[in-house]
Amino acid sequence: MKIVVIGGTGLIGSQVTEQLTARGHEVLPAAPSTGVNTFTGEGLEGALVGATVVIDVSNSPSFAADDVLAFFQRSGEHLAAAEKVAGVTHHVALTIVGAERAPDSGYLRAKIAQESVIKSAGVPFTIVRATQFFEFLPAIADAATADGVVRVPAAALQPIAASDVVAALAGVALAAPANATIEIAGPQALPLPDLLRPVLAARGDARLVVGEEHGQYFGTELTDATLTAGPQAHIGATTFAAWLATQNTTRTS
């Protein structure tokens, strides 16, 4: 079966490409660096010829609210049109648990817009909503740093290993379209400062992390319920402690 992975050169996309190729499928990693641009439409129709499944794990190069909204909306529309021409029978997309509960975040609003385009496109689909990746925690710290101090909401996130996201996406892509949204999340919800401190320490990063009741997370406040998963979520196998044990870059011997 031919599977096109939009964003197939990224963190998730490269691993999805590898896994599905190892299972014997013809997998095309599609991205601007391989000549396929969903935002402009360049190379898209050609890439989709003969494809049965499209997995969209692309991301906007800019997180500015207007840019990211334009990216997911326009790319989604280009994808839907090209998928209809190619006869694609399953569109799989990776979005974010709880995005509708954080309307102050331009990025999360754009992910909701992406989901709306998919739901109205007329191509059978499965939307996989994931919580934040463990691998994304350093970027959260960087985005929340001012004057060398990391200030974040004290609320909980329920992060998941990228490898568990990849396994879930590969399984979904090989199954029938659900025409629905499923959730995947990590095994534990922990206060964001308690997630960031050991991640920074493992990198030898001495920045102070402060949890604040009204702290900002990419333009929005959070409660424990904003970005954590519901009871039906599929839970990834990798614990935060197990993932962290693979991250210690401060050892010298």
Ligand X SMILES: NC(=O)c1ccc[n+]([C@@H]2O[C@H](COP(=O)([O-])OP(=O)(O)OC[C@H]3O[C@@H](n4cnc5c(N)ncnc54)[C@H](OP(=O)(O)O)[C@@H]3O)[C@@H](O)[C@H]2O)c1
What residue ranges bind ligand X (CB under 6 A)?
6-7, 9-13, 31-33, 36-39, 57-59, 61, 94, 96, 111, 130, 132-133, 136
**Closest CB to ligand X among residues 129, 253:** 129
Angle, in degrees to the nearest 10, between helices 106-120 and 65-86: 20
CB of 245 to ligand X, least distance (A): 20
**Closest CB to ligand X among residues 61, 103:** 61
CB of 20 to ligand X, least distance (A): 15
**Closest CB to ligand X among residues 232, 253:** 232
**Closest CB to ligand X among residues 33, 179:** 33
CB of 146 to ligand X, least distance (A): 21
Beta partners for 93? 56, 127
DSSP codes, 110-121: HHHHHHHHHHHS
Beta carbons within 10 angstroms of residue 117's beta carbon: 18
Q: Which residue is nearest to ligand X (CB)?
A: 10
**Closest CB to ligand X among residues 171, 252:** 171
CA distance 92 to 110: 17
CB of 120 to ligand X, least distance (A): 19
CB of 192 to ligand X, least distance (A): 13
Query: For residue 217, what are the CA distances in angstroms to 76, 132, 136, 211, 239?
Result: 26, 12, 13, 11, 23
CA angle 31, 33, 35 (to 5 degrees): 70
